[in-house]
Amino acid sequence: MTTKITPWSRRRFLAGSALTLAAPAALTSTRAYAANPVIKVGHVSPRTGPLAGFAEADDYVLEAINQAFAAGLENNGKTYTVEIISKDSQSNPNRAAEVAADLILGDEVDLIVAASTPDTVNPVSDQAEINEVPCITTDCPWQPYFFGRNGVPGEGFENTYHFFWGLEDVIGAFLDMWGKSGVAKNIGGLFPNDADGNAWGDAELGLPKPLAAAGYNLVDPGRFQPLSDDFSNQIAAFKSAGCEIVTGNMIPPDFATFWAQSAQQGFTPKVVTIGKALLFPSVIEALGTRGDGLTSEVWWSPNHPFSSSLTGATSKDLADGYTAASGRPWTQPIGFKHALFEVVADVIKRAEDLDDPAAIVSAIASTDLDTITGNVNWANGPINNVTKTPLVAGQWQREGDVLDLKIVANAAAATIPITGDLKLLS
Amino acid sequence: MNLSNLHVTRTSRAAKAAAVVGALILIVLIAAPWWAGRADMRLMGELFLYLALASLWNLMAGYAGLVSVGQQAYVGFGGYMLFALTIFGGIYPLGAIALAGVLGALVAVPVALLIFRLRGAYFAIGTWVIAEVFRLSFAQVSALGGGSGSSLPVGIVKSLAASRSGREHLSYWLALGSTVIVIAAVYLLLRSRNGLALTAIRDNELAAGSLGIDIWRTKFVVYVVTAALTTMIGALIFLQKLRISPDAAFSVNDWTAFVIFIVVIGGIGTIEGPIIGTLIFFVLRETLADLGTIYLLVLGVVAIVIMLKAPNGIWGLIRGRFDIELFPLSFRVKTTHPSKKG
C-alpha cells in the first residue's frame, strides 16, 4: 500500500515542461510496481480554501486507512495493492473538475471518490460519469447531488453513486427538535443563492412544504447572495413576524454576520438551527458566548453506536484518536471520510472483475455494509444511485471550558442515544 | 553609405526560422492524438485555452491599453450560452460555440459604450463590476440552476462524437484550433492598418490622437472582437468542465488573475509573451499545485520578482538582449546587399 501525494512526480513534471518542445520522449516514463497488481483509487477533497474544515482530518483518516490496506486487499483469491492518490480541489469547482480529469486520464484510477459539499462532489461525479469511471461520493445532501446534476428520477446515473442523508431527514430531525422546544411556530428562513440554499428553500423539494404541513409559519425573505454583509431586511422581517425559531443553511461567515447583527438589532429568537454553518467547533468557538445553545444537524458523532468494518474502531475510538493525534476537537466529516474508504474496500473485495469498470459499478450498486456512519446499501435508496445514513439533531452546549455537541432529538434514528436536553436561547 | 542600399522590412532571419519551427511544432501538435496519452492531450488542451485567453487579454491590455479585470464576464457568458443553447435550443455544441461568439460580441457593444466612459483605474474597476453584474444575473436564472449551477447532460456531450476517444480528439483539436485562430487573428490585426494605430496608441495615446487616429473607434473594435473570441473560448472551457455555476464561470481568479499573471510574466505588449507565460504557468501549476497554499505563494513571488527584475516580462528581457522578434511586427532598416561593413 502506498499513498501518493507527491507533488514532484517526475512523470507530471516532464509532461508539463515537455510541452515546450512537444517532445514525445517525456511520455515514456513509467512507474515500477511490486508484484501484486495495483488498484488505484483517486480521492478529491477541498484541502485548502473556504471548505478546508471539511478536509482537516484527511491525513488522520487516510493514515488509518493505509494501515488497514497495508497487507493489500483480496479479490477472487488474488491480493491487490491499493494505491490512494489524493488531490486538492482548492474549494473551487473548476479545480475539482480539473483534478478529477487528471486522476481519471493521467493516473488512470480504477475508482474515484470525493467528499464535502456539492462544489466538490458534483464536478467530480460529472467527470466520472462522462469518462465511465466508477465513482463513490458522500458528505453532500442528496438533493443538490441528484437534481443539481440534472438527474432524472428513475434513470439516475450510470457510474456515480452517493451516500448521505437528504433534506427530508433534516426537516424531520429539525421538526422533532422544535416540537420539543414548545416555542411559537413562527420560523424565519435564511437561504442563500447557492447549491445548498436553493435546495433547502425550494418550494417543492425543500423546507417550505413540510413545515407548512407541520403547522409552522415560514417567513422566507428570499435568496440572498453568499457573503452578504447586511441582514437587516431579514432581521426586520423576522422581528415583525414574531419569529422564535430561525433556520436555514449558511456558510459560517454569513451566519456570524447575521448573528452579530441580530444582537445589535435586538432580535432574540429562542431556537437557532442552521445547517452547514454550525458543524465545526472552531466556528462555534469564534462566536464566543453567543455560540452556546445554537443547534444544527448531526450526521455523525462519537456517540453514534457504529463501528468501522475495516479497523473495528468505534465512533468514539475514531474521534478520540483524531483529538489525540492533532490536539483538535473531533468533527463530523471524520466519520464519513472513513466510511467512504470502508465502502471502497468492500467494493474492491467483492467486485467480480477488477479490470472491468462495469463490474466495479455493479459491486457498488450491490453494497450492503455496516459502516461507522451506519448501513450503506444502495438497494434502500430514496432515488437511483443514492442511499441514506441516519441523521439526528444536536445542540452546542458549554460545559466549563469545553463546547460539546449534545444530541437532543433522535426520532428518526432511535439507535443513536440522546445525550442532552434542548435548552432555549432566551 | 548610399541610401538606396537601405530598405525597410519587417522580416528577419530569426522570424523566418521561427515561422518554420512554429509550423513544424503545429504539425506535431495536430498529430498529438497519435503520440500523446489522454491525460497529456487534456492538459495541452487546457494550456491552449489559457494561451488563447492570455493572447486576447494581451491584445486588449498590451496594445489597446484597455486594462480589463473583468474578462471573466465573457468566459462565464460563453459557458452559460453553451449550456443554454444546447440544453434549451437543442443546438449542436459546435454551432452553439460559434453562436455564443456572436452573442458575446452583441453583449459587448452596450457594455463598451458604458465602460468606455471610464478611464484608467476606473475602467479596470468598471469591467470588474460588469463581470459581477453578469455573475449575479446568471445566479438568478433558475432554469440554468441559479446559484447552484448545472451539469451538461451526458447526451449533449455524447452528441459531439460517439466514442470516448473521438470526443477527446475533437475537444483537443478544438482547443488547438481556437488558439491558432486567436493568435493568427491577433497577428494579422496587428499587421493591418488598425494594428499600426494600436501600436501607436500603445506607445503614446496623445501623440496617436494628434496623428489623426480615431482612438475610441480603434479601442471599441478591439474590445468587441476580444469579447467575441473570449466568449467562444469560455464556451469551449465549459464544454470540457461539464459543469457550470456562477462562481466557477465568473471566477476572477481562474479567468482573469491567472491570465494577467501569464501575460505579465511572459511580456505584455508582445505576441510571444503570452506563449512563454502560459508555459511557465503550467510548469508551475503541474509541479506545485498539490502543495496547497504554498503554490499560490510561489505564484505571487514569481510575479513580484519578474515585475521588479524584468518589468517587460521574460520575452521583454530576451528581446532587449538579443533584439529578436519571432512574430515580425516592427519595421527594421536593412541594407539591400548585406556588406561586411554593415
**How many whole angstroms separate alpha carbon A284 and alpha carbon A396?**
8
B29: chain A residues, CB-CB within 8 Å: 22
Using DSSP's 3-state secondary structure scheme, residue A211 falls into helix
Put residue A231 in one of left, alpha, beta given phi > 0 → left and psi -120 to 50 → alpha: alpha
pLDDT tens column, B119-141 = 888 999 999 999 999 999 998 88
* Cβ pair B149:A93 closer than 8 A: yes
pLDDT at A15: 45
Task: Please give the residue of chain B at the shortest CA–CA distance from A52.
Answer: B292
Cβ atoms A261, A290 nearer than 8 A: no
Please tell me the predicted confidence (pLDDT) of residue B18.
84
Q: Which of B36, B241, B293 sits opposite A97 (nearest CB)?
A: B241
Chain B residues with CB-CB distance to A90 below 8 A: 292
Q: Shortest Cα distance from A86 to chain B (angstroms)?
A: 9
Q: Which residues contact B59 (CB under 8 A, 6 or more apart)?
A: B186, B189, B190, B222, B226
Q: Give the residue from A105, A109, A120, A125 with the most B CB atoms within 10 Å of its CB, the best one to mutate.
A: A105
- Between chains, do A106 and B43 touch, taking CB under 8 Å as contact? yes
pTM: 0.81
Those residues whose C-beta lies under 8 Å from the C-beta of residue B318, and which sit 6 or more positions away, are B324
In SS3 terms, chain B reads as CCHHHEEEECCCHHHHHHHHHHHHHHHHHHCHHHHCCHHHHHHHHHHHHHHHHHHHHHHHHHHCCCCCCCCHHHHHHHHHHHHHHHHCCCCCHHHHHHHHHHHHHHHHHHHHHHHCCCCHHHHHHHHHHHHHHHHHHHHCCHHHCHHHCEECCHHHHHCCCCCHHHHHHHHHHHHHHHHHHHHHHHHHHHHCHHHHHHHHHHHCHHHHHHCCCCHHHHHHHHHHHHHHHHHHHHHHHHHHHCEECHHHHCCHHHHHHHHHHHHHHHCCCCCHHHHHHHHHHHHHHHHHHHHCHHHHHHHHHHHHHHHHHCCCHHHHHHHHHHCCCCCCCCCEEEECCCCCCC
- What is the pLDDT at residue A400? 82
Are B243 and A92 in contact, with CB atoms under 8 Å apart? no
Closest to A195 (Cβ–Cβ): which among B47, B147, B157?
Answer: B147
Give pLDDT tens digits for B176-189.
Answer: 999 999 999 999 98
A48–B292 C-beta distance less than 8 A = yes
Average confidence score pLDDT of chain A: 88
Find the residue in A nearest to B292 (Cα): A48
Chain B CB contacts of A130 under 8 Å are: 154, 157, 242
Write down the domain spans for chain B: 25-250, 252-326
- Give B228→chain A minimum CA distance, Å: 22
Distance from CA of B290 to the nearest CA of A (A): 5
pLDDT band, very low/low/confident/very high, at B338 (cuts 50, 70, 90): low
Q: What is the pLDDT of residues B17-29, one digit of tens each?
A: 888 898 999 999 9
Asked if A162 and A116 touch (Cβ cutoff 8 Å), the reply is no
Distance from the Cα of B229 to chain A's closest Cα (Å) equals 21
Cβ–Cβ contact A144 with B under 8 A: yes
- Per-residue model confidence (pLDDT) at position A103: 93
Q: Is A30 on the interface with B (CB under 8 A)?
A: no
Residues of B with CB below 8 A from A197's CB?
147
- The answer to whether A150 faces chain B, any CB pair under 8 Å, is yes
